[in-house]
Structure 1
């Protein structure tokens, strides 16, 4: 088995030293705008498109590219950090004017981001930050605040007492780290609530089901669940069965269509709703400005809001 760190470092070095690469990333799709913006070519690599949240982010990006008259090429890294480095390398060889990077791993993405910058290609980090690199802009939800809101909502649902478990996202991503940090800080305000277990389920619904099933065997008396995204929460709901939303309160994160439907149905009690479409739009708008040499803010925080059974109709569910 090859060492992923060596693969990533080698690919990043190749990006810094070569001006040509493969013909183009497989599985990509383009959104082209008006002829006036044909010279603004943007590459976007998403950690995965096997998640409704990132599909919404892509759709927002494509809509903004069409509006701005830019050409956007989107690739799916399939949660493979090495594959994502190769995609960034391909973007550089295609003379992209800017790259939007939604990291599979916030640490592993650093060499690729640095190499792109050495090639004078500005990098916009979307939804997740890139550790150890000062990119042109990081546009993301305020995940720490979102984690705190999740803790407060779950505490209210439990009457400020009980035992809870936490389903964690992909280790190494800033989203998982920040949401976990916010929840940990927020739940400290409620000393009668005990976090009895925390385990990664990698932002995946099937893994959320499996992990929750195992946690229930070792912690049969839990009162609440915080899942760091809606996909894991939906898996947990399936594992909980009739207890979901009633005997065991469930709070997710993202506000995806399926998550909001579960909130409306009462099996998920709340979700910290992000705005992935807006996030995608803002990432492309920043990329266009950076490509033209315009000044942009280093960070943009997209607001989050808690969706509950009382206000879920205010959110877009389709």
Structure 2
């Protein structure tokens, strides 16, 4: 069938118009985090996407599930898609260095949030919570709630995650000053709620006289609390770390006693703001490593907590 010249011209114009709009499409920012099953990481992704959308960027939101190989593939995807920046909560302090270097070599700057890597000068920014300061806040409250004595358990995060070690050190630099507080078990539950539940069940069987549990994050704290509640041990003091809505609700209902808020949503927003400035002016932040202080959350201020941020 012959196409009339007028229609053909319109079709060509339309295709040129589409090509032009594609060429002038908004710049892309890639947002890569661990699994959104953990509300902390979902809050990061949501905060970064909302800020990027507000600044006029297109976004792709990807999940590496703490798998360094998958993370490397996702960074390849971001590079191939022509991303102007990567916002990354990484899959390992050592394992991530090469992937971020790969992005840098491809002229795609990375802005890290939540977790540091064991290298400087590779990412443009590393914006992290002051995990040591936050852990000390949590430990001080834990000691107070315990009355400065009693047997307790520590649940530790993923061993490959720098934050797990920093938080544990922060806890012990406070707790170990109290000789009547005795740690009877210390196990990693890999930031996982089901794993924490199972570990808590077995720890409780071996140590029925425990008085407290201090956890490296809220997800493990929720697993521990569920196991304690199932065993009829709601008398055990549990303190978490992150500031999730789930733990907020538990604190308000008299379950978990306290947590430490790290501002995940705001951290992600700041990363995008710094990426935007870098994309437009090639201006890097004054410091690559930036610490944000954490805040203790107790029954007194839990009502102000919403999605890893305190409202006024």
TM-score category by the smaller chain? 0.7 to 0.9
Give the conservation status (yes or no) of the 8 Å contact 1:149–1:186. Answer: no
Q: Residue 282 of structure 1 corresponds to which residue in structure 2?
A: 270
Q: Which has the larger radius of gyration?
A: 2
Q: Residue 49 of structure 1 corresponds to which residue in structure 2?
A: 36
Is 1:85 matched with 2:84?
A: no
Give the conservation status (yes or no) of the 8 Å contact 1:47–1:84. Answer: no
Q: Structure 1 length normalisation: TM-score? A: 0.84
1:303, distance to aligned residue in structure 2 (A) = 2.5
Is 1:312 matched with 2:299?
A: no
Q: Residue 294 of structure 1 corresponds to which residue in structure 2?
A: 283
1:40, distance to aligned residue in structure 2 (A) = 3.2
Which is further off, 119-128 or 289-298? Answer: 289-298
Q: Structure 2 length normalisation: TM-score? A: 0.86
- For 1:125, what is the secondary structure of its paired residue? strand
Deviations 1:230-276 (A, max 9, x none): 111111011111323xx210000111111100111111000111221
Is 1:75 matched with 2:75?
A: no
The two structures, once aligned, show a CA RMSD in angstroms of 1.8
Change (3 A) 1:222 1:81: same
1:200-239 paired onto structure 2 within 5 Å: 200-239=188-227
Where does structure 1 lack aligned partners over 5 or more consecutive residues?
Answer: 1-34
Deviations 1:258-295 (A, max 9, x none): 11001111110001112211111111112222223112
- For 2:240, what is the secondary structure of its paired residue? strand
1:186-265 paired onto structure 2 within 5 Å: 186-241=174-229, 242-244=232-234, 247-265=235-253
Q: Which runs of 4+ in 1 moved over 3 A?
A: 37-40
Is 1:99 matched with 2:86?
A: yes
1:79, distance to aligned residue in structure 2 (A) = 2.4
Is 1:63 matched with 2:50?
A: yes
**Count of paired positions:** 281
Give the conservation status (yes or no) of the 8 Å contact 1:167–1:228. Answer: yes
Give the conservation status (yes or no) of the 8 Å contact 1:168–1:202. Answer: yes
Q: Residue 127 of structure 1 corresponds to which residue in structure 2?
A: 114
Which residue of the other structure, out of 154, 162, 167, is the alignment partner of 2:142? 154
Give the conservation status (yes or no) of the 8 Å contact 2:133–2:293. Answer: no
1:317, distance to aligned residue in structure 2 (A) = 6.5
Deviations 1:125-158 (A, max 9, x none): 1110111343211111111111111111100001
- For 2:177, what is the secondary structure of its paired residue? coil
**1: distance between equivalents of 2:59 and 2:291?**
23
